């Protein structure tokens, strides 16, 4: 009995690490895009509105991908859809290196976003269903911590590769995950919960009706508001981070260096959230980390010295990414297995609307002469609204099995 338990733990650790690496590659792609647009603004002479368009189109692809992959994962399995989304975004990233025009690059970033947006809710659903209830929240936050690793890799690649070899080389590196998909094909299995109910897959219409039924409607509204505000603020702030550094007077290479330092603060943010989420609950971690993210946004927007900028940026990374980890843990726990990936996928998809609006809004406002401080006040308000949605509409799911 003891041996079986040990084997179970090994399998769970392997799944967490395998899915985590795919998550890391997702983050690397998104992170490199934020550095690449800063380089493209110099090489192609892109204005702030065009940068906003490019990042918004990436988010449109993520919105479509999240909804499609979530629905397909309940129909064809988490593992199959995870592999396909990984291949799609890897291929799109590699082909982006060949883009000769802004329009072609936008089309390829839509395809890349489709794969990225689809993979994230499917991976979190797979891991959430494959670990014991008592470890579920911690496992998902630790899965999310691989996102920080991906951003750190993106910052390192951008700092050392883009200045020396150009942005196309960074996109080529982004195609590497396609090879990893070949390993994943043998390394992971579908979750026991999904396999147990595989023969009773509900039609998509019934799954959509279920997540909006009286039993789940309040949770769905809360999740959609939470995802909208968190994604809006995250992509609006972090995809613009290197460019904001340039706007504050730092050179391109110097801004990359500072963003790398700020990104390192994501890791302790995840690890503290992983600890507190099983001790104090999902709602406490989400509300607390979101409110502290909001305060950090105000601080960052008004920072005037290098020291303040780095300290505020580190706090922004720490609390924002800790909140992301808690949100990914919280989302699948709102629904039973039969509709879990659909519910998580559509919440993430709706949230990606915020990822479309956020970066584009920053581009429009900055181009119109709005101060960075005012832009970050808008993010402050959005994040507080997300925290209030969880506080008043959310239910605590710590230790609860949604299938019972």
CB 147 within 8 A of CB 21: no
- The whole-number average pLDDT for the span 85-99 is 90
Name every residue whose Cβ is closer than 8 Å to that of residue 395 and which is 6 or more positions away in sequence: 218, 219, 283
Which tops the pLDDT comparison, 135 or 281?
Answer: 281
Q: What is the per-residue pLDDT across 350-382, written as a single tens digit (0 to 9) for each?
A: 998 988 888 788 878 887 888 888 999 999 999
Q: What pLDDT is stored for residue 206 in this prediction?
A: 94
Buried b (16+ CB within 10 A) or exposed e, 51-85: bbbbbbbbbbbbbbbbbbbbbbbbbebbbebbbbb
Q: What is the per-residue pLDDT across 115-149, written as a single tens digit (0 to 9) for each?
A: 988 988 888 888 888 888 888 888 888 888 888 88
- The whole-number average pLDDT for the span 162-190 is 82
**CA-to-CA distance for 196 and 338, rounded, in angstroms?**
10
> Is residue 38 very low, low, confident or very high in pLDDT (cuts 50, 70, 90)?
confident
Indicate the SS3 state at residue 348: helix
CATH number, domain of 37, equals 1.20.1250.20
CA-nearest of 245, 242, 180 to 23 is 180
> Is residue 290 very low, low, confident or very high in pLDDT (cuts 50, 70, 90)?
very high
**191 located within any domain:** no
CA-nearest of 22, 117, 23, 19 to 346 is 117
**196 located within any domain:** no
Indicate the SS3 state at residue 30: helix
> Is residue 54 very low, low, confident or very high in pLDDT (cuts 50, 70, 90)?
confident
Q: What pLDDT is stored for residue 250 in this prediction?
A: 66
**92 located within any domain:** yes
Q: How many domains does the chain have?
A: 1
**5 located within any domain:** no
Buried b (16+ CB within 10 A) or exposed e, 301-310: bebeeeeebb
**375 located within any domain:** yes
**188 located within any domain:** no
Which tops the pLDDT comparison, 106 or 164?
Answer: 106
**402 located within any domain:** no
**2 located within any domain:** no
Average pLDDT along the chain:
85
Residue 57 structural domain: 10-183+204-393
> Is residue 4 very low, low, confident or very high in pLDDT (cuts 50, 70, 90)?
very low
> Rounded to 5 degrees, what are φ and ψ at 44?
-95, -5
- How long is the chain? 404
The pLDDT of residue 155 is above 90: no
Q: What pLDDT is stored for residue 8 in this prediction?
A: 54
Q: What pLDDT is stored for residue 248 in this prediction?
A: 67
């Amino acid at each position: 009995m003891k041996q079986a338990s040990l084997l179970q733990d090994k399998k769970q650790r392997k799944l967490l690490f395998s899915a985590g690496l795919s998550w890391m590659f997702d983050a690397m792609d998104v992170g490199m895009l934020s550095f690449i647009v800063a380089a493209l603004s110099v090489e192609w002479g892109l204005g702030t509105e065009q940068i906003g368009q490019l990042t918004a189109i990436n988010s449109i692809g993520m919105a479509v991908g999240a909804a499609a992959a979530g629905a397909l994962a309940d129909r064809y399995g988490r593992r199959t859809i995870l592999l396909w989304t990984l291949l799609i975004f890897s291929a799109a990233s590699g082909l982006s290196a060949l883009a000769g025009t802004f329009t072609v690059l936008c089309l390829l970033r839509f395809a890349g976003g489709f794969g990225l947006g689809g993979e994230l809710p499917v991976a979190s659903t797979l891991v959430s269903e494959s670990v014991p209830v008592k470890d579920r929240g911690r496992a998902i936050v630790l899965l999310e911590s691989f996102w920080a690793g991906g951003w750190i890799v993106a910052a390192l690649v951008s700092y050392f590769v883009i200045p020396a070899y150009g942005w196309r080389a960074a996109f080529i590196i982004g195609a590497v995950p396609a090879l990893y998909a070949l390993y994943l094909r043998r390394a992971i299995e579908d979750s026991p919960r999904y396999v147990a109910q595989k023969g009773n897959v509900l039609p998509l219409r019934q799954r959509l009706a279920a997540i909006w039924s009286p039993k789940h409607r309040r949770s769905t509204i809360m999740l959609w508001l939470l995802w909208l505000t968190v994604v809006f603020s995250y992509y609006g702030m972090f995809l613009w981070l290197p460019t904001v550094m340039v706007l504050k007077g730092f050179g391109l290479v110097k801004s990359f260096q500072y963003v790398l330092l700020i990104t390192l603060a994501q890791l302790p943010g995840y690890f503290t959230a992983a600890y507190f989420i099983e001790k104090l609950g999902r709602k406490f971690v989400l509300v607390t980390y979101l409110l502290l993210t909001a305060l950090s946004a105000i601080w960052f927007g008004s920072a005037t010295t290098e020291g303040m900028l780095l300290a505020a940026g580190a706090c922004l990374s720490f609390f924002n990414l800790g909140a992301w980890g808690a949100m990914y843990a919280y989302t699948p726990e709102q629904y039973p297995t039969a509709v879990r990936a659909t519910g998580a996928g559509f919440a993430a998809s709706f949230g990606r609307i915020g990822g479309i609006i956020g970066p584009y809004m920053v581009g429009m406002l900055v181009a119109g002469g709005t101060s960075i401080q005012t832009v970050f006040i808008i993010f402050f308000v959005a994040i507080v609204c997300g925290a209030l949605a969880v506080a008043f509409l959310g239910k605590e799911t710590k230790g609860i099995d949604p299938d019972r």
